[in-house]
Amino acid sequence: MLPKDVNITNIKASSKAAGSAMQGFIYGQIFLQVFMKGSMEDMWGAFFSLQLLCQLTLYGIPIPANGEMYVEQFRKLVDFDLFKPNNILPMIHKGWSTEYFIGIS
Amino acid sequence: MESTGIQSGNVIYNMSTFIFMGLAAFAVFALLSVLLLVKKFHDKVKAKLVDILKKTFFNNLIRSHSISYIHLTVSFSIVIYLEMEKKEAINLKQIAPLIALGVLPLFLLKVLLSKRETLDTLEIREKIERLYQDIALTRNSWTIYYHPMFLLRRFCFVVIPILMPDYPIIQVIVLSIINLMFVMFMGAV
C-alpha cells in the first residue's frame, strides 16, 4: 500500500520509464558490443545483480509498493520480455502462442 | 506466485522465452548447415561453423546456462511448492531436476579442478573461459571456486524462500548468512 500523499500514476509512470531506460540501455549495449566485439562482462554483472534483485519478492518480507513497481519493470528486462514467444509467434502466424504449442489453457 | 514473475506451474511454459531463444539459435545453425550443401557458400560457411564450434559454442552454452539458471531453479522450485500447497506427496520425478541443478555447480567445480593446470592455455580458454573469466588464476588456489559458488549462492537464494514459505525469519537469517559467507569468500580470495 502506498502512503497517502503518493500519486500512484506518477510512481507507475516513473517506474515504467526507469524500466524502459534500463531495457534500452542493456539491449543497446548488447547490440553495440556484439558488433564492436568488446567485453560484455560488466553488463552481465549488472544483469546478474538485477536477476537477484527481482527474486527478492520470493521472500516473505513486505517491500514498499513503489519499490515493487520498479522490481516489476526490471523483471521484464531479466526475463527477456522482448523475446517472449507470445510477442513473436502471433507475428509469424495468427493464433500461434506458447499455450497453443504446449497444449495448456 | 504472480509476485515472482512466474505465470504457471508448467516449467516449459515458464522457460518458454529461453527455449524459444535456444530454438532460434538452433535454427541459425540449421540454416548454416543447409548452406553447407550449396557449393558457392560451402568453404566460407564451413570455416564459420568450425570457428563457432571451436571458439564460442561451449562458452556461449555456459553463459546461457548462467543466465537461465536462476529462472530454471525458480520454475522447478515452484512445481514442488505447488505440490506442497496441495499437501500432496512429492515424488522423485519432481525433485530430481532441482537436485540436478543443485549438484551442477559441484560438477562444474570438478571440471575446473580437473583442468586446473591447463586453464590458462588458449585451447581451454576458447572452450570454457566463461567459467573463470576475469579471474586471476595464479593469485590464490581458491579463485577458481568463484563460478560454482556464484551458482550455488543463487540456488540457495531461490530455493530457501520457496521451500520454506512459512518461515520468513529463517529465510532472512539464511539469506544474511549466505551473503556474509559470499562476501567473506570474495574478500579472502
CB distance B175 to A59 below 8 Å: yes
SS3 at position B57: helix
Interface membership of B64 toward A (CB under 8 Å): no
SS3 at position B165: coil
pLDDT tens profile A4-34: 777 778 877 887 888 788 777 777 777 777 6
Model-level ipTM above the cut of 0.90: no
pLDDT for the residue B148: 93
SS3 at position B121: coil
Interface membership of A49 toward B (CB under 8 Å): no
Task: List the single best residue of B3, B75, B156 to mutate versus A (max A Cβ within 10 A).
Answer: B3
Burial of B52 (0-12, 13-18, 19+ CB in 10 A): middle
Mean pLDDT of A41-64: 85
- Rounded percentage of chain A residues whose pLDDT exceeds 70: 90
CB distance B119 to B132 below 8 Å: yes
Does B70 sit within 8 Å of A55, measured CB to CB? yes
Taking CA–CA distances from B1, the nearest residue in chain A reads A58
Place of cell 546478474: A48
pTM: 0.82
Does B171 sit within 8 Å of A59, measured CB to CB? yes
86-125 in chain B: CB under 8 A from chain A: none
Taking CA–CA distances from B174, the nearest residue in chain A reads A59
Task: List the single best residue of A44, A58, A74 to mutate versus B (max B Cβ within 10 A).
Answer: A58
Mean pLDDT of chain A: 80
One digit per residue, pLDDT tens: chain B, 189 residues?
Answer: 556 666 677 888 888 889 998 898 889 888 888 888 888 888 888 888 888 887 778 888 898 899 999 999 998 888 888 888 887 777 888 889 999 999 999 999 999 999 888 988 888 888 888 888 888 888 888 899 999 999 999 999 999 988 888 888 898 899 999 999 999 998 887
pLDDT tens profile A57-71: 888 788 888 788 888
Where does chain B have alpha helices with state H? 11-14, 16-36, 39-51, 57-85, 92-114, 122-128, 146-163, 168-188
Backbone angles phi, psi at A104, to 5 degrees: -115, 155
Interface membership of B17 toward A (CB under 8 Å): yes
Q: State the number of CA atoms in the 13 A half-sphere of B149 facing the CB.
A: 16
- Cα–Cα distance measured from residue B36 to residue A102, given in angstroms and rounded to the nearest whole number: 32
CB distance B15 to B72 below 8 Å: yes
Interface membership of B57 toward A (CB under 8 Å): no
Interface membership of A83 toward B (CB under 8 Å): yes
Distances (CA, A) of B82 to A8, A9, B40, B107, B168: 32, 34, 55, 29, 18
Does B17 sit within 8 Å of A80, measured CB to CB? yes
The CA dihedral of A100, A104, A105, B1, to the nearest 10 degrees, is -120
pLDDT for the residue B109: 92
CB distance B65 to B87 below 8 Å: no
Nearest to A71 by CA among B9, A26, A79, B12: A79
Does A88 sit within 8 Å of B20, measured CB to CB? yes
The backbone region for B10, taken as left when phi is positive above 0, alpha when psi lies in -120 to 50, beta otherwise, is beta
Least CB–CB distance from A58: residue in B4, B71, B166: B4
- Cα–Cα distance measured from residue B59 to residue B50, given in angstroms and rounded to the nearest whole number: 14
Helix, strand, coil % in chain A, rounded to nearest 5: 75, 0, 25
